[in-house]
């Protein structure tokens, strides 16, 4: 926690502004947070290029190389980023090329400015960047199939990405909203109501929603 406070102070990062995110108990920096650092430190240039030899367009696999040039320096800080269908969310299918570029830029910026925190955008789908939850169906039809809205989970994932929300805090808020211990125990109707509530809150008062979500953060342990 001390290192996080020092990082926030030294680089002007803000949790409320979306520069830092707490995911599964770990802090990550965001792309916007890194760009903010680059702007404040007067980064002179950022260039990107596709690695033609390593990329495989037929398999939708993209690898980018990014170079960051700090102010008053000709030294380039290089970072590589890759993206394909195996390490990106199904919600962004078709955008793998842009994701690979963003990851490359993030790595180069982190090298240039000595940022030890991994960025949110570098996380792969299987490594926890996706919001994982399933709503418990309200009932089961006579033929044995769950009566559940198939796109409900995707709607919630989209809201989280669109407004850059913390998935773990959203899950905690959802459970509280539905009156269950976990979101998986909530009925389909309750989860659907929560999704509608979350969408309206984010649109009407995003700052207030973020404050509400932060109230579900687990307090840090005090070292004796």
- Residue 146: both structure tokens together: 């769950």
Rounded Cα distance between 142 and 139, Å, is 10
This prediction's pTM: 0.57
Angle between helices 152-162 and 188-204 (to 10 degrees): 20
The CATH number of the structural domain formed by 11-125 is 3.30.160.20
Q: Hey, is 140 helix, strand or coil?
A: strand
Span between the terminal Cα atoms of the chain, in Å: 15
Mean pLDDT of 12-34: 85
Domain with CATH 3.30.160.20 in the chain: 11-125
Q: Hey, is 23 helix, strand or coil?
A: strand
What local confidence, expressed as pLDDT, does residue 47 receive? 96
Is the pLDDT reported for residue 44 higher than 90? Answer: yes
What local confidence, expressed as pLDDT, does residue 130 receive? 43
166-179, pLDDT tens digit by residue? Answer: 888 888 888 888 88
Region of 22 on the Ramachandran plot (φ > 0 left; ψ -120 to 50 alpha; else beta): beta
71-130, pLDDT tens digit by residue? Answer: 888 899 999 999 998 888 877 788 899 999 999 999 999 999 999 889 989 887 644 444
């Amino acid at each position: 926690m001390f290192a996080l406070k020092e990082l926030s102070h030294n680089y002007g990062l803000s949790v409320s502004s979306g520069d830092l995110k707490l995911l599964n108990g770990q802090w990550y920096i965001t792309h916007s947070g890194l760009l903010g650092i680059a702007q404040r430190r007067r980064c002179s240039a950022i260039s990107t290029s596709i690695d033609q030899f390593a990329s495989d367009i037929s398999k939708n696999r993209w690898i980018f190389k990014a170079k960051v040039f700090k102010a008053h320096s000709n030294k380039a800080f290089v970072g590589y980023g890759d993206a394909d269908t195996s390490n990106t969310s199904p919600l962004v299918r078709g955008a793998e090329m842009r994701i690979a570029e963003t990851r490359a830029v993030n790595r180069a910026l982190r090298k240039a400015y000595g940022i030890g925190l991994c960025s949110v955008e570098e996380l792969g789908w299987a490594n926890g960047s996706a919001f994982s939850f399933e709503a418990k169906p309200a009932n089961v039809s006579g033929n044995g199939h769950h009566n559940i809205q198939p796109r409900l989970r995707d709607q919630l994932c989209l809201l989280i990405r669109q407004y850059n929300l913390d998935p773990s805090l959203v899950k905690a808020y959802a459970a509280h909203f539905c009156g269950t211990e976990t979101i998986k125990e909530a009925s389909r109707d309750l989860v659907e109501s929560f999704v509608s509530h979350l969408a309206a809150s984010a649109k009407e008062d995003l700052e207030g929603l973020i404050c509400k979500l932060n109230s579900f953060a687990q307090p840090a342990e005090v070292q004796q």
